[in-house]
Amino acid sequence: MTPSGVLETVLYAKDLDAAEAFYRDVLGLEPFAKSDGRHLFYRCGEQVLLIFNPDATKIPPGPGSLPVPPHGATGEGHVCFRASAAELDDWRRLLEHKGIVIEADFEWPKGGRSIYFRDPAGNCLEFAEPRIWGLA
């Protein structure tokens, strides 16, 4: 057997208020669930983007809580959002309009374009055409 896909992706940010403002005001995402000081959960297509405060997720669950094991990461993470070639131009204009620095914008040697930028926690975010991975 092999997994049929990725269901969720996790990034970590200590300042969840700044993360929520960024993902709402820049990327247009609204959390469908949140817990002050612990997490923000977003739907993104058929996947879920989870943003956790790493300090909070290292704490083992208490009695009566869901038995999710402690987890966390330090340093910058990365997530790539799917976008068409036309959408990439629109995203670049929107990001620049919002004052977000584009760190890289290039065509991959085997085809497809990516743009890279950062969220307030320093996570490296990317918009890319699926064809960079040979996907439609």
pLDDT of residue 82: 96
Q: Which tens digit of pLDDT belongs to each residue from 2-47?
A: 888 899 999 999 999 999 999 999 999 999 999 999 999 999 999 9
Give this prediction's pTM.
0.93
pLDDT at 124 over 90: yes
Q: Using CA atoms, how far apart are residues 120 and 108, in angstroms rounded to an integer?
A: 26
Average pLDDT over residues 87-101: 97
**Residue range 8-60+76-133 in CATH 3.10.180.10:** yes
In the chain, where the domains are located: 8-60+76-133
Is a pLDDT exceeding 90 seen at residue 72? no
The answer to whether 116 touches 104, Cβ cutoff 8 Å, is: yes
Percentage of residues of the chain with pLDDT beyond 70: 100
- Token digits of residue 68: 């999710």
